[in-house]
Chains A and B, each alone.
Chain A
């Protein structure tokens, strides 16, 4: 396996009942790459994206993320999902939490959970050490609960400031516009400091006048060097941001290349047909 590859997908298959949506997808993604995934509806591009963090369990094949096969049932997927952010078409902000809670919830509760686990482990190590000659080392716990919450809050405030929504910190999602919601959803993913972010048609549910603000934020994140996969219908945006474009059709990657190659000089007849229809 190439060390530069953050993600390597091999022979990925997914069926819903008898319907085979993904028929074997192979791709290597290097750190810092921005991949745009385009294709006609029903081609499997969303399913492919959702298989990467196992939102849909793959029916076959492997997904190596930092050399760990996420498709393996024995892998604790939750740990790896923390490293793979996801942004949904429908935003999916937590309706019962305020904006700042939406951003803080996962970092705080997951860290607390880890500390709890570490404490439990330390307890057993201590008990075991009574009988051991060479004492086992305890896991160091460096932060208190208050510190964790404080850090998360500071980080969340910084993120909200960045998208200019600091005054919305304590309101509930139902009062925000679609564009504001999606920008919060993006910084919610960023709050976990992920290595990759998956965007599942991030602008499809937005009113046209709000598309720009969301795309601008995604561009900003891209420019900071984040690795990202974006399923999108915004061809102009794909061309501008992506350094590689995948055209998917009937459950396979039919063609891939730089934006220039795909948009200006497509080879596959299906790609040509699709681009003619959308451009």
Chain B
């Protein structure tokens, strides 16, 4: 215990932990934002009426994309992205940026499935009314259907965010220091892992509880706004 606090406080471990927390937050938040944006686009493609050729081709592409990203572990996607794809195209990016991109792409696959069921849960009459007023499909989706479906799937989106926060522990594979790495480092230095890992678990618990409370608050707000 004393050894842990010596490394955590006197030797500056808390600074690394704060940096790690920041990296964890960055990766999870921006990953989720990319995930929601891209996931929404994919969901729209998948629920789009398919009379014409283009939507059909897009649908096939989206299906492959979702199968690919849901069918492989995120750590593999991260390793392939960082050590295979990026060098292959000769691009050099910061590890955090790569992590954000991979987390975003991965989360898009999951969010698209949630969003699809969210869209299908919105009464078809909402879309029809918007179309009948002359709004194009995309506009009707963006202004009417998607906002309502996001409200419906807010709890599941909250869960996805929690999953992302917890999954950030894999980014040490590409030399990014996240909150897990920060605490493991103290264990590595002291050869004593029980205390650092207990503290780490505590940090995650607090984070997840915070997110859960936030999601609940947003839900209540949204519900209230329609009952005033």
Contacts and interface: CB of A to CB of B under 8 A. Distances in A.
Q: Do chains A and B touch in the complex (CB under 8 A)?
A: yes
B143 interface: yes
A90 B227 contact: no
B128 A55 contact: yes
Given A88-B125, A174-B226, A175-B228, A106 B130 contact: yes
Interface stretch (A19-27, A74-82, A128-136, A226-234): A74-82
Given A96-B148, A106-B130, A113 B139 contact: yes
B129 interface: yes
Nearest to A83: B134
B135 interface: yes
A160 interface: no
B73 interface: no
B210 interface: no
A78 B136 contact: yes
A105 B131 CA distance: 12
Nearest to A105: B143
A189 B143 CA distance: 17
B226 A106 contact: no
B14 to A, nearest CB: 44
Interface in A11-53: 53
A95 B136 contact: no
B225 A109 contact: no
Contacts of B228: 171-172, 175
Contact of A96 (B51, B125, B129, B151): B151
B134 A110 contact: yes
A92 interface: yes
A244 interface: no
Contact of A82 (B51, B123, B126, B134): B134
A106 B147 CA distance: 16
A119 to B, nearest CB: 17
A53 B132 contact: yes
A175 B227 contact: yes
B133 interface: yes
Contacts of B33: none
Interface in A58-113: 78-82, 84-86, 88, 90, 92-97, 105-106, 109-110, 113
A183 interface: no
Contacts of B135: 78, 106, 109-110
A105 B139 CA distance: 11
A194 to B, nearest CB: 9
A93 B147 CA distance: 14
A132 B70 CA distance: 54
A172 B134 contact: no
A33 to B, nearest CB: 20
Contacts of B139: 109, 113
Nearest to B125: A92
B38 interface: no
Contacts of B147: 96
Contact of B227 (A57, A78, A93, A174): A174
B200 interface: no
B207 interface: no
B129 A88 contact: yes
A239 B151 CA distance: 45
B144 interface: yes
A81 B129 contact: no
Nearest to A95: B148
Contacts of A185: 129
User: Nearest 5 CB-CB pairs, A to B?
Assistant: A82-B134, A92-B129, A106-B133, A86-B132, A92-B125
11 contacts: A78-B135, A81-B131, A81-B134, A86-B133, A90-B123, A94-B126, A94-B144, A96-B147, A106-B134, A109-B135, A189-B133
